[in-house]
Amino acid sequence: MAAKNATNGYIRMVSTDTFTTDSPSKMFLPRALSWAGTTGASKCAITDADGVTVCYMSVGAAGGEAVRTKEFYGEARPWKTPITATMSSGMLLIVV
């Protein structure tokens, strides 16, 4: 598990990486995110500090990509950090 920081407006995460915002409230809501699985059918989940799954994505084939933009979040509450990414393959890119 590696702690990640935002670089140039993005957070890049692979399985079991974590991210904690530096805001005083420790709350975080991404602007968008993209995840691509590299092997067959793959899945990706993000859990917050309370262990709640706040985002789940899956793809059916190698190289499949799942994208979530601001429309996905709607009235969702911000995520309580640290968040942890768990995925069967690939890399998650979060726009902050």
CATH number, domain with residue 81: 2.60.120
What are the structure tokens assigned to 3, written together? 């702690």
The model's pLDDT over 8-57, given as tens digits with 9 standing for 90+, comes to 889 999 999 999 998 889 998 898 999 988 877 789 999 999 999 999 99
Residues of the domain holding 20: 3-95
pTM: 0.86
Q: Indicate the number of domains in the chain.
A: 1
